[in-house]
A and B are shown apart, each in its own frame.
Chain A
């Protein structure tokens, strides 16, 4: 094994506390290494100096929720033996184009430090970071034992960077490329894995757009006997996925390619057999353009499925109703709203073990209510799936009464994300604001950790949230509230709040400043298109020196207005890589 540097303890010095023999470092470190969660690890390190040091030396995984809250140098100084790094960069609203290009969160400076301090780095998981091809190449060449690369919602690289990874990372076990803004210059990267390379366990290139050489993929899958996750992109046909499944019946998670190919009966039967032979398959996704004609090929695998992602298949209600009775073991289901309320009724009746449901809009920008789900679908799911605790629901109409019924049926919600797509829309039956809906959610769901609100909302909603949401950690607000009082209620309540993101709400400086006592215990605050001014932000910055108060300037707006404000705690002060349009106050 690789040498682990230890610090020898001078036992004679600690004789003062003679009632307890000092705990040998080795034992303490061994015990603490069993503590996996980074939050627990943090707590451990606060107990006493010995424990802080034990944690320091034994910590091998680090999670940094905001890359600007700390510097790579500080991380390197404190933790000498890191093997796995998880880093998150841009504010979440950058996913929705609210953060301009070149804002920051570049991974490179981190990699440079890691190359010096952690030559044995094995895992890098990045979310919303900027990653260039140069960085990927640098990574591939700096860490000989590198195993896991996971890039989610990142941007700045191209498939050339992936070529470097495939070529040089001889011990790679995981390559997970999801939903990144990348330049797809072709699928040749996959062919860069050498023929001697056999260690791959996870391969996800579902969101890459260009064709890979199927031959190379088939050979890769054949020789990587430990492969357990394979998610291919749209260009892989049904016939091809069948071949891949035959090569790797041990697969646990499969993302298929396109389902649109024309099949003769023999091919259909072969596909059915292939799916049936995957005895360990518990997760199925992809299913691009799947229709009722060929969807039944997956039926043999459905009984064991716990996670089914149909969010790229424009299924109608009857198609879903036929499929779901085969999937009684589902815990997680993602669908498009083309399945409509009737489809959701089928969910309620066929999947009693369901814990997570996400319903995405097929046509989010079409304001004509041609397709979609309503409150009835949601109610139907809640009444059949009592274990539901995570929901993301896009709809065009909702009522307070329906939400009250839903949370009565499922009081264990931990994540409640409701998006009524027309901003500021009232309860469509009573024309009341949706205050009581979210009031019911926070009053009933005491375990609620994450909440996203929508619809016509007054300050009352936020009074409810502040008063009742004791475990709330993440809150997303858009087009809501009537006055500063709304945000103030949240800042005065919600003891566990960590992330608050607000857009297009009438909250001003007074609201911002009401959170003075809170921001240091939070990861970050985002406010855009609200009523903040530069003076208000300056005041915040002045009073709280350990916060970075960043204003993203919009060219068109007034000098005194603060259009986009991002506030976060940091131990390293203002960032030095801020672009000209970001002012740190």
Chain B
């Protein structure tokens, strides 16, 4: 399912979570490397560049600055939707011009560098035909269909997938997500990423998620981003396509009523 380019009037962000580089960013800024200043941004002159985490890995930044003219440039598929943010921000000035109009969209838009990862065509084509077993297995086992949605969190290096049928209510979902993403929120505190095991950090985590730091949002069938908790649970699991744990500061423009609800509810 690939969505057409959509105008998000409340959030100019891409829906992709930058890959685990917020930690690097913090550390490198503290080391005196001001990556933000050297950051290559998407956008035509005069257009508003979306505020997002700096995703340039320091090594790759030096790659670009040392004159690697064609890192990715000739390997990006010009015709497909190229998700530069997913690529970790690797792009040369030339390719930035090429792809500036394309915004990373639905999860169906996958970044494809020619010939990477290095898998032979036969294997690529074969595996493309067979669907991932996991979903089939789950179907067979439970007897009823599972509802898998991807959950991303701003600042986390990777996404998780959850089965919405495993939860009966918003509070269960919220708890489940907190557990799943606890390791990343601790990282956000500034220390290195460790799973939240001790009670002290749990407490910190709870405060984090139930406080003003993060809100749960989801994308519904129409492609709109909503705050989790606005609709009855049953309706939610039917219409929810993916979930994003977003920083409150970015959730500007979503129904204020919803924000209040979220805060109280959790």
Residues of A in contact with B (beta carbons under 8 Å apart): 93, 95-98, 153, 179, 181, 207, 288-289, 291, 311-312, 314-316, 338, 360-371, 394, 396, 419, 421-426, 428-431, 433, 456-458, 476, 478-479, 482-483, 503-506, 508, 529-531, 554, 556-557, 561, 563
Distance between Cα atoms of A379 and B189 in the complex (Å): 30
Distance between Cα atoms of A315 and B66 in the complex (Å): 44
**B57 to nearest A CB, angstroms?**
6
Taking A153-B120, A361-B119, A529-B70 as contacts, is the C-beta distance between A314 and B130 under 8 angstroms? yes
**B43 to nearest A CB, angstroms?**
22
Number of interchain pairs (Cβ within 8 Å): 154
Instruction: Establish whether residues A456 and B57, one from each chain, have CB atoms under 8 Å apart when the complex forms.
Output: yes
**A508 to nearest B CB, angstroms?**
8
List A contacts of B137 (CB < 8 A).
Answer: 291, 316
Instruction: Establish whether residues B115 and A97, one from each chain, have CB atoms under 8 Å apart when the complex forms.
Output: yes
List A contacts of B63 (CB < 8 A).
Answer: 424, 482, 506
Which residue of the partner chain A has the closest CB to B114?
Answer: A97
Instruction: Establish whether residues A424 and B57, one from each chain, have CB atoms under 8 Å apart when the complex forms.
Output: yes
**B180 to nearest A CB, angstroms?**
12
Q: Given A98, A289, A394, A563, which contacts B117 in the complex, CB threshold below 8 Å?
A: A394
**A210 to nearest B CB, angstroms?**
14
Any chain A CB within 8 A of the CB of B161?
Answer: yes
Instruction: Establish whether residues B66 and A529, one from each chain, have CB atoms under 8 Å apart when the complex forms.
Output: no
Distance between Cα atoms of A370 and B123 in the complex (Å): 20
Which residue of the partner chain A has the closest CB to B125?
Answer: A209
List B contacts of A429 (CB < 8 A).
Answer: 192-193
Distance between Cα atoms of A478 and B117 in the complex (Å): 10
Taking A97-B121, A370-B161 as contacts, is the C-beta distance between A289 and B66 under 8 angstroms? no
Instruction: Establish whether residues A422 and B88, one from each chain, have CB atoms under 8 Å apart when the complex forms.
Output: yes
Instruction: Establish whether residues B159 and A368, one from each chain, have CB atoms under 8 Å apart when the complex forms.
Output: yes
List B contacts of A291 (CB < 8 A).
Answer: 133, 137
Instruction: Establish whether residues B74 and A425, one from each chain, have CB atoms under 8 Å apart when the complex forms.
Output: no
Distance between Cα atoms of A479 and B126 in the complex (Å): 27
- Ordered by A's residue number, 7 sampled pairs between the chains whose C-beta atoms are within 8 Å are A289-B130, A369-B159, A422-B88, A425-B57, A456-B60, A457-B59, A505-B68
* Number of residues from B at the complex interface, CB < 8 A: 55
Instruction: Establish whether residues B193 and A96, one from each chain, have CB atoms under 8 Å apart when the complex forms.
Output: no
Distance between Cα atoms of A525 and B66 in the complex (Å): 23
List B contacts of A529 (CB < 8 A).
Answer: 70-75
Q: Given A95, A396, A557, which contacts B74 in the complex, CB threshold below 8 Å?
A: A557
Which residue of the partner chain B has the closest CB to A206?
Answer: B122
Interface positions, chain B 20-74, Cβ under 8 Å from A, are 20, 23-24, 27, 57, 59-60, 62-63, 66-74
Name the segment of B104-112, B168-176, B250-258 touching the other chain: B104-112
Any chain A CB within 8 A of the CB of B241?
Answer: no
Q: Given B57, B118, B134, B160, which contacts A426 in the complex, CB threshold below 8 Å?
A: B57
Taking A431-B23, A531-B67, A531-B69 as contacts, is the C-beta distance between A504 and B157 under 8 angstroms? no
Instruction: Establish whether residues B24 and A424, one from each chain, have CB atoms under 8 Å apart when the complex forms.
Output: no
Any chain A CB within 8 A of the CB of B244?
Answer: no
Instruction: Establish whether residues A419 and B118, one from each chain, have CB atoms under 8 Å apart when the complex forms.
Output: yes
Q: Given A98, A426, A503, which contacts B59 in the complex, CB threshold below 8 Å?
A: A426
Q: Given A207, A371, A530, which contacts B122 in the complex, CB threshold below 8 Å?
A: A207
List A contacts of B118 (CB < 8 A).
Answer: 95-96, 419, 476, 478
Taking A314-B133, A371-B134, A396-B158 as contacts, is the C-beta distance between A425 and B66 under 8 angstroms? no
A423-B87, A431-B23 are known; give 18 further A-B pairs, CB within 8 A: A95-B118, A97-B115, A181-B121, A207-B122, A315-B133, A362-B132, A364-B117, A365-B110, A368-B107, A368-B150, A423-B113, A424-B60, A425-B19, A425-B57, A431-B24, A482-B59, A483-B66, A531-B69
Distance between Cα atoms of A394 and B119 in the complex (Å): 10
Any chain A CB within 8 A of the CB of B127?
Answer: yes
Taking A364-B119, A365-B110 as contacts, is the C-beta distance between A316 and B133 under 8 angstroms? yes
